[in-house]
């Protein structure tokens, strides 16, 4: 049981380039999330999904897109990368959306936009 896996671990992008951050979970969780972590700050929610085919914006969605074609995968797309998107990105999942439910996090992708 690998839990939540993310690729790549680290990436450098030039301004204006695009890339997709991959996220896969093998726990059969319905809910998946993308957060970003900026230095000295807590995590902020970018997008989330409550099931295959259903996604919605979080607190900081601008500059990102997501899709959820399967239960397992929840890729995050960056179009036209900007320096402000330099951050560490974490994918997470949970079985349900109730307030008691634990969210399980992947190891993160560190992105540097130059």
Residues of the shown chain interacting with other proteins in the complex, contacts defined by CB under 8 A:
4, 31, 33, 35, 40-45, 48, 50, 56, 58-59, 90, 92, 97-108
Q: What's the min distance (Å) between Cβ of 102 and other proteins?
A: 5
Q: What's the min distance (Å) between Cβ of 105 and other proteins?
A: 4
Asked if residue 87 lies in contact with residue 36, where contact means CB atoms within 8 angstroms, the answer is yes
The residue among 55 and 85 lying less far from other proteins, judged by its C-beta, is 55
Give the helix ranges, DSSP H, for 1-114. Answer: none
Give the span between the Cα atoms of 95 and 83, in whole angstroms: 34
């Amino acid at each position: 049981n690998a839990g939540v896996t993310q690729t790549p671990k680290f990436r450098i992008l030039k301004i204006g380039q695009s890339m997709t951050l991959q996220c896969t979970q093998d726990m059969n969780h319905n809910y998946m999330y993308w957060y970003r972590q900026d230095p000295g700050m807590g995590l902020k929610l970018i997008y989330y999904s409550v099931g295959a085919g259903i996604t919605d914006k979080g607190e900081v969605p601008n500059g990102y897109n997501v899709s959820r074609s399967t239960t397992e995968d929840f890729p995050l797309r960056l179009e036209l990368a900007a320096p402000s998107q330099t951050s560490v990105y974490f994918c997470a999942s949970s079985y349900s959306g109730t307030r008691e439910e634990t969210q399980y996090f992947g190891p993160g992708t560190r992105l540097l936009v130059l």
